[in-house]
Amino acid sequence: MRYPAVFFDSFQLEHNARLILALCQRRGIKCSSVTKGIGADERIVAAWYRAGFRDFADSRLQNLAEIRRTYGRDVSLMLLRLPAASEAHDVVRLCDVSLNSELETIRLLGQAARQLKHPHEIILMTDLGDLREGLLPEHLLDAVREIVNIPAIKLAGIGVNYTCYGGVLPSVDSYKELTHLVHQAEALTEYPLQLVSGGNSSSLPLILGSGNLGRVNHLRIGEALLLGRETAFGENIPGLYTKAFILEAEVVELQCKPTLPRGEAGRDAFGGVPLFEDRGFRIRAVLALGKQDAVVEQLLPEAEGADILGASSDHLIVDVTDAPPVKVGDTMRFELRYGALLHLMTSSYVVKYERSDPLLCRHLALAAQV
C-alpha cells in the first residue's frame, strides 16, 4: 500500500447525500452537489448519484467534463466559478447553467450558444456583503435589463454567496433582501425565475430551522456532504457521518530532539518567520507529507496526545512524546477539515483508497426499501 493516502467510505458519503437531499426537500430546496472538494472523484460522484443527486456543480471545467462523459445528459451540470472569456465555448458545450456577474462574459456566452446552437442558462450573482463575486444590489437590475435581450441566454435565476471570502453569514434578513431583488428582476423578465440560489453549506442552519427563507429554493452543497458539518458555525449535522475521510501518512524519522532551533533564525521556506516554544527535548515523528499536499493546520491527529509542530513542503513534524508509541514505517491517521481535504483529494501525490462498510451498505439498502 502506498502513502500518503486518503481512505474514504463511499457508503457513508451516500448516506450523507440521502439525508441532505431529504432535509432540503422538506423545505422545498433543490441541491446541487459540489464536487470540487474531491476533484470529482468518480467513485464519490457515483455514491451521490445512487443517493439521488442529478445536479452536480464544480469550479473546474475538467471535472465537469468527466461527469458529463460518465452520465451524459442524465445529469445537470453547473459551473460555480465565474466563466473566463476564453472558456465561453467550453462552458456552453459542457454546462447546463453557470454563475455569472460580468455582462461582457455573458455576451460571449451568448455568442458561443448561438454558434453551437445550444441555449445556455445563467444564474446572475449578487453580492450581499461577502465581497467575493456578484453585482452590488443597486447594479443588478440594470444587468437584468441587458441580459433579457441577449439571444440564446436565459436568465434562470439570481444567486448569492456567503462565508467564502468575507465570512459573512446568511440570514433571514439577507434572504429577505435577495427575495426583494428577485421580485424586481421578475418584473423585467416577465417570467418567474427558476432558481434562487441561496448559498452553500453555511446556509444549512437556516434550512434546518424554521425561519422564513423567502424565495430561496436552491443551495450548492459540498462540505456538509463530505464532512457532515455546516460551515456557518462548524457544527456537526445530526445524523451525518463526519469521518468519511481519513488520511494516513508514514513515519520516516523518529528522533528525540530539542524544541528550540539552534543558530541565527531567518525566514522559512515559505517566507514566514517561525516562532518556537522551548519545551525541552521531545520525541518527534517526521512524516512523508507536507504543505504541498495539505493545509496542515487542518489536519487533526487521531492519536491522543499527538501534536502537530509544523511542516515544510514535504515533511510533517508531529510531537508524539505523549502519544501511543510509533516507529519508523508506521503510519499515523488524521481527521480532515475541508481545506486539507480539498488539497489532498486534488493532489496527484496522494493515493485515494475506497473503503466500504458492508453493514452500512445493508442498512442503506433496507432504508431505501422503506
Question: Do the domains at 9-227 and 245-336 have one common CATH topology?
Answer: no
Give the per-residue pLDDT at 357: 56
SS (H, E, C) the chain: CCCCEEEEEHHHHHHHHHHHHHHHHHCCCEEEEECHHHCCCHHHHHHHHHHCCCEEEECCHHHHHHHHHHHHHHCEEEECCCCCHHHHHHHHHHCCEEEECCHHHHHHHHHHHHHHCCCEEEEEEECCCCCCCCECHHHHHHHHHHHCCCCCEEEEEEEECCCCCCCCCCCHHHHHHHHHHHHHHHHHHCCCCCEEECCCHHHHHHHHCCCCCCCCCEEEECHHHHHCECCCCCCECCCCCCCCEEEEEEEEEEEEEECCCCCCCCCCCCCCCCCCCCCCEEEEEEECCCCCCCCHHHEEECCCCCEEEEECCCCEEEECCCCCCCCCCCEEEEEECHHHHHHHHCCCCCEEEEECCHHHHHHHHHHHHC
Give the per-residue pLDDT at 2: 96
What single-letter amino acid sits at 33?
S
In the numeric block, which cell numbers belong to residue 111? 455568442
CATH code for the domain defined by 245-336: 2.40.37.10
CATH code for the domain defined by 9-227: 3.20.20.10
What single-letter amino acid sits at 23?
L
Catalytic site residue 36?
yes
The number of angstroms, rounded, from the C-alpha of 239 to the middle of its chain's C-alpha atoms is: 20
Rounded Cα gap, residues 364 and 194, in angstroms: 32
In the numeric block, which cell numbers belong to residue 258? 530539542
Rounded Cα gap, residues 4 and 218, in angstroms: 37
Residues shown for the chain: 370
In which residue ranges of the chain is pLDDT below 70? 356-370
Q: Going by C-beta distance under 8 Å and a sequence separation of 6 or more, which residues neighbour residue 344?
A: 4, 6, 247, 293, 294, 336, 350
Give the per-residue pLDDT at 370: 45
Give the per-residue pLDDT at 272: 85
Choice among 30, 36, 117, 352 that is catalytic: 36
Sketch the domain layout of the chain as residue ranges: 9-227, 245-336
Residue written as grid cell 446572475? 124
Write out pLDDT tens, residues 160-190: 999 999 999 999 999 999 999 999 999 999 9
Write out pLDDT tens, residues 54-111: 999 999 999 999 999 999 999 999 999 999 999 999 999 999 999 999 999 999 999 9
